[in-house]
Amino acid sequence: MSIVEFKLDPWSHVMIKDYEKLFQYFGIRPFNEVINKLKSVAEPHYLMRRGIIFGHRDFDRVVDAIIRGERFAVVTGLMPSGKMHFGHKMVIDQVIYYQRLDAEIYLVIADIEAYNVRRISRDDAINIALRDYVANYIALGLDKKNLHLYFQSNYKIKYYRLIQLIPRKLTLAELRAAYGEDIDVGKVISVITQIADILHPQLKDLGGFKHIVVPVGPDQDPHIRLTRDVAQRFNDELGLTPPSSTYHRFMSGLDGGKMSSSRPESYISLNEDPATAVQKLMKAFTGGRATAEEQKKLGGEPEKCVVYEFYAYHLIPDDEELRRAYLDCKLGNVLCGECKLKAAELLTKYLIQHNDRYEKALPKVSEYVEMPDF
Amino acid sequence: MSIVEFKLDPWSHVMIKDYEKLFQYFGIRPFNEVINKLKSVAEPHYLMRRGIIFGHRDFDRVVDAIIRGERFAVVTGLMPSGKMHFGHKMVIDQVIYYQRLDAEIYLVIADIEAYNVRRISRDDAINIALRDYVANYIALGLDKKNLHLYFQSNYKIKYYRLIQLIPRKLTLAELRAAYGEDIDVGKVISVITQIADILHPQLKDLGGFKHIVVPVGPDQDPHIRLTRDVAQRFNDELGLTPPSSTYHRFMSGLDGGKMSSSRPESYISLNEDPATAVQKLMKAFTGGRATAEEQKKLGGEPEKCVVYEFYAYHLIPDDEELRRAYLDCKLGNVLCGECKLKAAELLTKYLIQHNDRYEKALPKVSEYVEMPDF
């Protein structure tokens, strides 16, 4: 790929390599197939424009719904475990994008999965959900409009009924194929519950048919496939139809590994104090060369750079500015030290501003979600 | 056993043989251990006096509760599949007995198990539950007092929450040990739901601690054991305690096999038309000898006789009268033909009277149970 060709999607070639199997064997389609159609009705989100959202299943149906002004819904969830970090932010950014396009939003707090699979106490799960996630969501711009934000443990009876009916349409062999041989009872109930999370907005008594899109990482695709199968099997009986899905790249961990809530050195939390955040960023893995000399000559490798990811995913919303940062690195004009200082400045500004919004959001949490008692 | 020794418990010696393993290896205790203590506060039910209820786990705790005037509850369920027959009647007879001793009654309609495991449609399950079971229960004397009669698909949120929490306390290996290797997702959800059926009356928000007794057949003991284990594991977290249980003999099928809803030739339904019922009874397997001559000499074998079971379980509530019927058979005074005619007369009378009560009960069903919509 020459620099001239670069169109805000520095991962397109890497991606094809990484996710080739998804396209080839599992039927996920490239997102760029639908982006022009989406443009006819709405400006695509920068995560879409930049190829961070790279794949989909039946997202064209959702675009058609938007074009025709039909109802559609976004379903996603949060696992109340650990801190909310920048890797989590992507999904809620998408939710807010769709909410502004008049989507109904179904946001499930997976407290039951946290309890059964992560073995987190109910109290902890509830507190983490509210303080570490919901308050951040509100700070990021989540609105009360068309919002269904609920705990799995505290919701509507028709939802629980759907959870109970789903087992008829599934075999344990299918669950083992999707989640591994050592699946246990807690995981079984979590899977069934997640399927109900995705499908229940289509139930007759909960508003009836609407297009549904679930934004996920590619690791969640087995779950999407299973959910689509179950929907199909309920088509006659309950009028359910398969949900659409989109797939986004994951941010890399700061240390070059996976970004994970269980390793604080791998992520920056949205509620990190700026000094710690900057310290973590300065230590982060980059796409720099061995020496300054070499980098000036060969240019950096933003495609492999965690700092560049922070720009592209979060810190630089303006496409032209991002393009400049990319080229400055690629052409060897800006070396890692200077680049990190700039990122630190943007990050500090972001965190301070976010913290301000977070403090205002915190007392409002109970307006967004019904609190479960024990 | 000599005839002189006979104390209304013709099965005591057979039983010890049949159920020896239950006592010896599984820790079920003989019911006669607790019957005297029960007598101090209430007349034992004839099913208890006659050894039809033959075993228990911790039933002494329930008796203590009755003696001290503490709250206690009976939990049982019905599978809305096929007709309600005389084999089913035993359990509801016990429920009504406890209800008159001021027990709270939890009666669950297992429509979700019917849907998932028996593959009965929701509509059918609801209709069968109401017409074939609940209306018969009312006709048999079930009262609205302290009654919680509910569909698994249409109940309280705290109940659903308990269903969701239970998987943390169970492994799939335990379920396989109790229910077989080929357990599937529908069975997993049914088991978890049944455990919640038994334990939920103790939840803090549903009235808090009370002694619970579950009257079951011995085939249900693996489920009781599992439920007791789960209760123990929730002791700290939710304050749950193991339920007590009692065990009753099953009626034999009319044809000598198992009495089963799936084989109409094996049972007489409570709503059978009397002519058909009598026809079935006249064909039934008895404890008679090969010839009248022989029977006059050796006497019959009421312990092996389906007609005698009908007397003992249902048709002869008076102990002295039952004793006479037993002796008349045993001494060869009454042969099978005569005995069956008497049984047919009692059965006809019973069914006509029951049908009359059933017709009156049918329109009242909705006062006893909240009807689920789909």
ipTM of the complex: 0.89
The tens-digit pLDDT sequence of chain B (374 residues) is 455 455 556 665 555 556 777 787 888 999 999 999 999 999 999 999 999 999 999 999 999 999 999 999 999 999 999 999 999 999 999 999 999 999 999 999 999 999 999 999 999 999 999 999 999 999 999 999 999 999 999 999 999 999 999 999 999 999 999 998 889 999 999 999 999 999 999 999 999 999 999 999 998 999 999 999 999 999 999 999 999 999 999 999 998 888 988 899 999 999 999 999 999 999 998 989 999 999 999 999 999 999 999 999 999 999 999 999 999 999 999 999 999 999 999 999 999 999 999 999 999 999 999 888 75
Per-residue pLDDT reduced to its tens digit, A205-221: 999 999 999 999 998 99
Q: Does B21 touch chain A (CB under 8 A)?
A: no
CATH of B12-253, one of 3.40.50.620, 3.10.20.30, 3.40.50.300, 3.30.70.260: 3.40.50.620
Contact A115 B154 (CB under 8 A): no
- Which residue is closest to A203 within chain B, CA to CA? B374
Per-residue pLDDT reduced to its tens digit, A34-83: 999 999 999 999 999 999 999 999 999 999 999 999 999 999 999 999 99
**Dist. CA A350–CA B4, nearest whole Å:** 94
Using a CB-CB cut-off of 8 Å, the residues of chain A touching B180 are: none
**Does domain B264-358 fall into CATH 1.10.240.10?**
yes
Per-residue pLDDT reduced to its tens digit, A317-353: 999 999 999 999 999 999 999 999 999 999 999 999 9
Whether the pTM exceeds 0.90: the reply is yes
Helix axes B221-233, B172-179, angle to 10 degrees: 160
The shortest CB-CB distance from B189 to any of A167, A171, A184 is to A167
CATH number given to A12-250 = 3.40.50.620
The pLDDT value recorded for residue A129 is 97
Contact B184 A165 (CB under 8 A): no
- Judge whether residue A14 has pLDDT over 70: no
- Which alpha helices (H) appear in chain B, and where do they start and end? 12-26, 32-39, 46-49, 59-68, 86-100, 111-116, 122-128, 135-140, 157-165, 172-179, 185-199, 221-233, 235-238, 274-283, 292-298, 306-310, 319-330, 336-361, 365-368
Q: Does A165 touch chain B (CB under 8 A)?
A: yes
The pLDDT value recorded for residue A24 is 79
Residue A23 — very low, low, confident or very high, per pLDDT cuts 50/70/90? confident
Beta strands at A244-248 and A53-57: parallel, antiparallel or unpaired:
antiparallel
**Dist. CA B323–CA B319, nearest whole Å:** 6
Residues 62-101 of A with CB under 8 A from B: none
User: How near does any CA of chain A get to the CA of B122, in Å?
Assistant: 9
Residues contacting residue A332 through CB under 8 Å, at least 6 positions apart: A295, A296, A297, A298, A299, A300
Contact B165 A193 (CB under 8 A): no
| Per-domain residue ranges of chain A | 12-250, 264-358
Pairwise pLDDT comparison (B172 vs A21), residue with the higher score: B172
Per-residue pLDDT reduced to its tens digit, A90-114: 999 999 999 999 999 999 999 999 9
The pLDDT value recorded for residue A1 is 42
Contact A167 B152 (CB under 8 A): no
Give the burial class of A61: count Cβ atoms within 10 A of its Cβ; 0-12 exposed, 13-18 middle, 19 or more buried: buried
The pLDDT value recorded for residue A11 is 64
Whole-number Cα distances in Å, B341 to B307, B312, B316, B334: 10, 16, 14, 11
Q: Does B179 touch chain A (CB under 8 A)?
A: no
- Judge whether residue A21 has pLDDT over 90: no
The pLDDT value recorded for residue B1 is 42
The pLDDT value recorded for residue A31 is 95
- Which residue is closest to B117 within chain A, CA to CA? A168
The pLDDT value recorded for residue A349 is 98
